[in-house]
Amino acid sequence: MPELPETETIARDLHGAIACVRVESVEVVRPDVLRAGARKLNSKLAGRTIQRVWRRAKSVVLSINGPSHVVVTPRFTGALLLGAPTVPDAYACLRIRLADDRELRYTDVRRLGTVAFLDDDAFAEWSGALGPEPLDPGFTAERFSGCIRGSKRAIKAVLMDQARLAGVGNIYANEALWRAGVRPSRRSATLTAREREALHRELTTVLREAVDARGTSFRDYRDAYGQRGGFASRLQAYGRGGEPCARCGRPLKSSHAIDGRATVWCAGCQR
């Protein structure tokens, strides 16, 4: 599932390529991906200009003059691809024809992703329900501590709670906890100030490194041009259950006990 680095990569690519470009028309191929306000999308977007493409949490936001916003949440197999309008795609859900004869296509094999159309008030309500962004300049160790302190839930589950912290998913929660030496099942409230500082540092560092590598690709994730991300080769925990820990050499453990998601950790050096 695309997380912060992957959706950030897509948003940056698209902003550089289609900001200030006018929408010519919209074809909805699979209406089951449409959510709030997205019915009759062609009449809402045709003739309007894409002012900005950016990311909020794990969603890509196309801000349109008006003002309003198209919020695309790719989830497991969704992708926003930019190219020629003649490209065949059996999984295309939405085709946005641009005035310069290019096409922005939302494609989704399993159709678990969503496309919403929100005015400013609805967008503010949606965004306001999300936690702070880990890569914002104001996201200090103190603010991070306030996000996770006091919870009796497992720290990994707290990191992935979008109402507490926006954009962090399973891949980078595993990686940050391994780097910080914190066991994923630890109750968040038991972390010391030093451990919270270390986790803040490692979380923001791994997210920035993954953005620089244009995300992590295993099967489905592709950037806006259909290319794979390059961070998978640098993963030290996620997907490596049973392999030796790069820090202490003990076999990494793997479990689905926390929220049913794959958790990988080292019993030797994560406390």
58 carries an active-site annotation: yes
Identify the residue whose tokens are 């999308």: 41
Cβ count within 10 A of residue 83: 14
Catalytic residue among 58, 75, 156, 183: 58
Rounded-to-integer distance, Cα 151 and Cα 128, Å: 21
3 state SS of 130: coil
Ordered per-residue pLDDT tens for the chain, 271 residues: 799 999 999 999 999 999 999 999 999 999 999 998 888 999 999 999 999 999 999 999 999 998 999 999 999 999 999 999 988 999 999 999 999 999 999 999 999 999 999 999 999 999 999 999 999 999 999 999 999 998 999 999 999 999 999 999 999 999 999 999 999 999 999 999 999 999 999 999 999 999 999 999 988 899 999 999 999 999 999 999 999 999 999 999 999 999 999 999 999 999 9
Instruction: Exactly one of 164, 179, 222, 261 is catalytic; name it.
Output: 261
Q: What is the CATH number of domain 4-128?
A: 3.20.190.10
Unique residue bearing structure tokens 């962004």? 133
Task: Indicate the CATH number for domain 141-265.
Answer: 1.10.8.50
Kindly report the CA angle at 158 between 154 and 159, in degrees rounded to 5? Answer: 115
Domain ranges of the chain: 4-128, 141-265
3 is catalytic: yes
